Structure 1
């Protein structure tokens, strides 16, 4: 029995969802993803189940990402149409797709065992290129915040928030 418990303990693989939250690395093909289904890697880090938050699961997280994406996109499109911000999404469906990919990959990061792999600078650069961003937020973030080059959650969050307000 001790061998069985020890065996289960050492084969349990965890991944990092944030500086505080741990998750587990699973095959994305087995997940009930609706919004992010085709925008994540083969193996992804998902939230663990907690007794305190029984409603918080993969489906709930996927729905929350969808809701945040729709709300931010609606806000951005309204501001673009009103002429308040640079036109980025209004005339570019590819830009909208990449923004969704950033949201999904940041929230369901790729993993293998105990390692988590966040989308990095190259996704930011690609997004900037596809969306015809006039200034260079990726270079600004990279040179200003050296630690962000390491694909941190801060980098992804900063890029996502930046593009809401350009």
Structure 2
């Protein structure tokens, strides 16, 4: 297959699909807290966040965190997606000096299919100039990784929780993303 054909097959649209998708604002903190805490109850290992923590971790900050909420026609927040920025320096390359990487953070869905939400995350990251989008196989992420053509990494993430007693847990039962 030619490079041109490969690029055509893997090209993302220029616009998102989800109706009501917009950047998170301070007025959304309470609803986002309710969404995330309710969603994370299904996992064996997950945080419980208060409004201050939601504001700290999710309110958009340029070059740090991007969070987009889905607001339905009646004004209720039903879903949200988030990713953080982690740039890397490219060594010894004549043209490229850095790699702008997006890392999937928390993506909560109640009405929008997770696949659609994550496809929108990829589109937003592309439009914001990211070079790569990474996602762990935590929570429900395995449901979209292959379908959205994510490449499988060469390692697995292991958490060591100081002073916590926690049995071994399958990745799809982990609702904790560490940065």
TMscore range, shorter length:
under 0.3
Q: Greater helix share, 1 or 2?
A: 1
Query: What is the TM-score when the length of structure 1 is the normalising length?
Result: 0.27
Q: Greater strand share, 1 or 2?
A: 2
